[in-house]
Structure 1
Amino acid sequence: MKTTFYKFSTAIIAFSVALTSCTKNFTEVNTDPNNTPHTLPQQLLAPALASTLNYNLLRNRNVNNELMQVTVDMGDGQGEVFRYDIRDNVSDYLYNGWFTDLTNYKDLYKTASDSLTLNTSYMGISQICQAWVYSMLTDTYGDVPYFHSNEGRDSLNFTPAFDRQKDIYTDIFKRLDAADTLLKKGTAIVPNSDPVYGGDVSKWRKLGNSLYLRLLLRISGKQDVTADVIKQIQTRIADTTNRPIMTSNAESAILKWTGGALVSPYVSVRAQDFRAPAICSFFIDHLSAWSSPFIDIPTYGTNGVCRWGIAPAAGNFIGVPSGYSPGTGAPKGAYFYATDQTVNSAVPLTLQTDPNTGIIMTYAELNFIMAECIAKGWISGKAGDYYNAGIQNCITQWIPTWSKKITDYTSAADITWDDAATLNAKMEMIHLQKYYALFLTDMEQWFEYRRTGHPVLPKGTGLQNGGVMPARLKYPVYIQSTNPTNYKAAVASQGTDAISTQVWWQKP
Structure 2
Amino acid sequence: MLNFHYNIKDKRMKNQFKIYVLMMAVSVSLLTACKKDFGDLNSNPNVPLSANTKYLFSSAVIGTRGIPNGAAGLLYVQHMAEFIYTNESRYQQIQYSYDGIYAGPVQDLQRIIKLNTDPATKSLKEVLDNGSNENQIGFARILKAFVMLQITDRWGNVPYREAGLGETNSQPKFDTQKFIYNDLLKELKEAPLQLVTAQPNDPLFGGDITKWKKWANSLRAIVALRMMKTEDVAVAKAAFSEAVTAGLMASNADNAIFNYQSNATYESPWYTNYVRNGRTDYGVSQTVVDNNMKPNADPRLPVFSRTVGSPAVYKGIPYGVTDQYSAGVDGALLGRAIYAQNFPLQLTTYAQMCFTMSEAVLEGWVAGSDAEMISWYNKGIEASMDQWSAVSTNPIVSITTAQKTAYEAMPNVLLTAGQTHDQKLEKIQTQKWLNFYMNNGYEAWAEWRRTGYPVLVPARDAANADKKIPRRQAYPKTESDLNKVNYDAAVAAQGPDALSTRLWWDRS
Instruction: Give the TM bin, normalised by the shorter chain.
Output: 0.7 to 0.9
Between the aligned partners of 2:76 and 2:106, the Cα distance in structure 1 is 26
2:428 alignment partner in structure 1: 430
1:410 alignment partner in structure 2: 408
Check 1:198–1:129 CA distance in 2 against 1; reply closer, same or farther (3 A cut): same
Check 1:505–1:380 CA distance in 2 against 1; reply closer, same or farther (3 A cut): same
Q: Give how far 1:492 is off.
A: 1.0
Check 1:99–1:225 CA distance in 2 against 1; reply closer, same or farther (3 A cut): farther
Deviations 1:51-91 (A, max 9, x none): 2113433x2xx21121111122134x7x7122222243xx0
Check 1:425–1:177 CA distance in 2 against 1; reply closer, same or farther (3 A cut): same
Q: Give how far 1:289 is off.
A: 2.1
Between the aligned partners of 1:201 and 1:377, the Cα distance in structure 2 is 31
1:308 has 2:312 as partner:
no
2:318 alignment partner in structure 1: 321
1:133 alignment partner in structure 2: 147
Deviations 1:350-396 (A, max 9, x none): 31325343222000000010000111122122110010011110110
1:201 alignment partner in structure 2: 209
Give the alignment of 1:91-170 within 5 angstroms: 91-92=96-97, 94-113=98-117, 114-116=122-124, 117=128, 118-153=132-167, 156-170=168-182
Check 1:481–1:389 CA distance in 2 against 1; reply closer, same or farther (3 A cut): same
SS in 1 for 2:457: coil
TM-score by length of structure 2 reads 0.81
Give the alignment of 1:9-88 within 5 angstroms: 32-33=38-39, 35=41, 37=44, 39-57=51-69, 59=70, 62-75=71-84, 80-88=87-95
Bigger radius of gyration, 1 or 2? 1
Check 1:73–1:30 CA distance in 2 against 1; reply closer, same or farther (3 A cut): closer
Between the aligned partners of 1:274 and 1:198, the Cα distance in structure 2 is 33
1:353 corresponds, among 340, 343, 346, to 340
SS in 2 for 1:72: strand
The alignment covers a number of residue pairs equal to 440
SS in 2 for 1:197: coil
Between the aligned partners of 2:67 and 2:287, the Cα distance in structure 1 is 25
2:383 corresponds, among 354, 369, 393, to 393
1:445 has 2:432 as partner:
no
2:417 corresponds, among 419, 422, 426, to 419
SS in 2 for 1:335: coil
1:365–1:437 Cα contact (<8 Å) kept: yes
Between the aligned partners of 2:203 and 2:100, the Cα distance in structure 1 is 24
Deviations 1:155-174 (A, max 9, x none): x2111111111111111112
Give the alignment of 1:225-244 within 5 angstroms: 225-237=232-244, 240=245, 243-244=246-247
2:384–2:435 Cα contact (<8 Å) kept: yes
Q: Give how far 1:307 is off.
A: 2.1
Q: Which moved more, 1:414-423 or 1:400-409?
A: 400-409
2:466 alignment partner in structure 1: 466
1:258–1:355 Cα contact (<8 Å) kept: yes
Check 1:445–1:143 CA distance in 2 against 1; reply closer, same or farther (3 A cut): same
Between the aligned partners of 1:250 and 1:30, the Cα distance in structure 2 is 37
Deviations 1:292-346 (A, max 9, x none): 2223xxxxxxxxxx32353425521111232346755572211126xxxxxxxxx
1:267–1:352 Cα contact (<8 Å) kept: yes
Give the alignment of 1:324-339 within 5 angstroms: 324=321, 327-329=324-326, 331-336=329-334
2:353 corresponds, among 366, 373, 376, to 366
Between the aligned partners of 1:320 and 1:31, the Cα distance in structure 2 is 55
Between the aligned partners of 1:368 and 1:267, the Cα distance in structure 2 is 30
Specify every segment of 5 or more residues in structure 1 that has no aligned partner in the other structure, as ranges.
1-28, 296-305, 338-348
Q: Stretches of 4+ moved more than 6 A in 1?
A: none
TM-score by length of structure 1 reads 0.81
1:13 alignment partner in structure 2: none
2:20 alignment partner in structure 1: none
2:26 alignment partner in structure 1: none
2:305–2:334 Cα contact (<8 Å) kept: yes
Deviations 1:95-140 (A, max 9, x none): 4334421011122333455223134333211101111111111110
2:466–2:500 Cα contact (<8 Å) kept: no
2:476 alignment partner in structure 1: 476
1:293 alignment partner in structure 2: 299
Check 1:291–1:96 CA distance in 2 against 1; reply closer, same or farther (3 A cut): same
Q: Give how far 1:35 is off.
A: 5.0
Check 1:30–1:215 CA distance in 2 against 1; reply closer, same or farther (3 A cut): closer
The residue type paired with residue 290 of structure 1 is N
The residue type paired with residue 252 of structure 1 is N
Specify every segment of 5 or more residues in structure 2 that has no aligned partner in the other structure, as ranges.
1-34, 391-397
1:313–1:335 Cα contact (<8 Å) kept: no
Between the aligned partners of 2:74 and 2:278, the Cα distance in structure 1 is 15
Check 1:446–1:31 CA distance in 2 against 1; reply closer, same or farther (3 A cut): closer
2:185 alignment partner in structure 1: 173
The residue type paired with residue 162 of structure 1 is F
1:277 has 2:287 as partner:
no
Deviations 1:160-195 (A, max 9, x none): 111111111111112112212102xx22332xx111
Between the aligned partners of 2:436 and 2:490, the Cα distance in structure 1 is 31
Check 1:249–1:267 CA distance in 2 against 1; reply closer, same or farther (3 A cut): same
Between the aligned partners of 2:309 and 2:99, the Cα distance in structure 1 is 36
Q: Give how far 1:220 is off.
A: 1.1
Check 1:49–1:488 CA distance in 2 against 1; reply closer, same or farther (3 A cut): same
1:8 alignment partner in structure 2: none
SS in 1 for 2:149: helix
